[in-house]
Amino acid sequence: MCAGLGRNMFRPTGARMRAPGQIKMLQPVAIAQKQLADYASLSSRGLIEEIRARAERLRGKRVLHLSATAFGGGVAEILNTIVPLMIDVGLECEWQVIYGREEFFNATKVLHNSLQGNPTTLSEEQWATWLRYNEINAAQLSDGWDVCIVHDPQPAAVCSLVPENARLWVWRCHIDLSTPNALTLERLLPYLTPYQAAVFHLGAYVPAGMDGRAHVIPPAIDPLAPKNMAFSLEDAVYICGQFGIDIDRPLMCQVSRFDPWKDPLGVIDAYRIVKESQPDVQLALVGSMATDDPEGWDYFNATVAHADGDPDIHILNNFSSVGAIEVNAFQSYSDVLVQKSIREGFGLTVTEAMWKGRPVVAGAVGGIPLQLSDGKSGFLVDGVGECAERALEILRDPPLGKQLGRAGKETVRQKFLMPRLLRDWLELFEGHEV
Ligand code: UDP
């Protein structure tokens, strides 16, 4: 997930940025209202009852989620639903976004990339910047929390700075820690030591030194959010048509940030191979430009350059009004959804695509193989050639696409919807005797 990225740009309370100490710069995020009952018909039998029973034992507990951004990327996506659901089942739950300026987010971007395996680590100055902003935020954190869940590395030092402010501290890691830059991880680990629990998407991401404090809990999607709610094919066709897609010709699509790990250039190369055999194929690259990603625009421009003016390649972003509904439309309508990632924390876009019942061709990296069973609920691929081959196979055999899509949807229903994630959190709280 998009960790390491994130900037306190979204200010739901409308507060202006002032000098530290003058106002509260930890920003509370406005929480939508959601009801667990609305998810009953989409959840497996017994799950909703189990959640209610667990939640009853935790009624009134004060839970804080602390993250780097309220907008864009997987973390915000999850918190936008899990926080309202925690409130609905009786917890006193809040979400606050940390304060940071460009220098901080430049440092945390390096931290993020480095923890995902990039050889470049932070300079001494960047570590100092990271710590300084953590201190500013820690100084503003109120006390009396039963649980404080700190998301990703940006605010990770806060626990070590004000451990007395919460009874249970949990570090929620959303990134791929399977092959981290050892220097960076070594430097981060002392700040993780005071946490009583840490949560990872996969067992493979648990670093040494967690000493039995690690929990493995995969993320989930909200089937009722605008991004994932059921959409008629006609509406999806209409929306895609508005963006210049020829609705009478096949469409490959990748929804992702413009980021080297998501390999949009590789997707273009795969599309070009497909086009040799299927000249009418089109490609849509749909990617939100995180205001918090300093490299995003460079990579977006590199992607546009790589497309080289091909009129059948549609490169769209949130600045061309691609929001949740449009992402839903592209995911619901495309003939093949590609997620050609080279590194991936979990890959919520894969979950979302599978939930739409569309066939997915995705890199066999990070959390993707956990979701997608090769040949049953999509195809796992390694490299441009394989990606093109599998996409073509699906385009040539629509019943195969339908079959893969149906199986994918069922997997998501059973394993990756929000009520299951809520249950797992409650179970963790109970396990730590909150
Ligand atoms: N996303 C979006 N618009 C875009 C691109 C991505 O809303 O143009 C969403 C996407 O639907 C998913 C999240 O951002 O919910 C990305 O999560 P993922 O785990 O796939 O990757 P991350 O960006 O966190 O690395």
Q: Please provide residue 234's backbone torsions phi and psi, each rounded to the nearest 5 degrees.
A: -60, -40
Confidence of residue 2 (pLDDT cuts 50, 70, 90): very low
Instruction: Look at residues 109, 103, 114 and name the one whose alpha carbon lies nearest to residue 188.
Output: 114
Pairing of strands 92-97, 27-28: antiparallel
| Closest to 340 in 3D by CA, of 381, 376, 377 | 381
What is the token pair recorded at 51? 């959640």
d(CA 276, CA 335): 17
- pLDDT digit string (tens) for 284-314? 999 877 665 667 888 999 999 999 999 999 9
pLDDT at 276: 98
In the numeric block, which tokens belong to residue 264? 């949009």
**Could you give the CA distance from residue 351 to residue 257 in angstroms, rounded to a whole number?**
16
Q: Residues of the chain with pLDDT > 90: what percent?
A: 84
**Whole-angstrom Cα distance, residue 207 to residue 163?**
22
Residue of 67, 69, 77 with the most ligand 1 atoms within 8 Å of its CB, for mutation:
77
Joined together, the tokens standing for residue 164 give 């007395």
pLDDT digits (tens, 9 = 90+) for 49-78: 999 999 999 999 999 999 998 887 789 999
CA 52 to CA 55: how far, in whole Å?
5
**Which domains can be identified in the chain, with CATH numbers?**
20-220+417-431 (3.40.50.2000), 233-415 (3.40.50.2000)
- Using a 6 Å cutoff on CB, does residue 257 contact ligand 1? yes
Rounded CA-CA distance 103/101 in Å is: 6
With a 6 A CB cut-off, is 1 part of the ligand 1 pocket? yes
Decide: 348 in ligand 1 pocket, CB within 6 A. Answer: yes
What would the two tokens of residue 154 be? 């940006």
pLDDT in tens, 115-166: 989 999 999 999 999 999 999 999 999 999 999 999 999 999 999 999 999 9
* Å from CA of 149 to ligand 1 middle: 21
pLDDT confidence of residue 7: 34
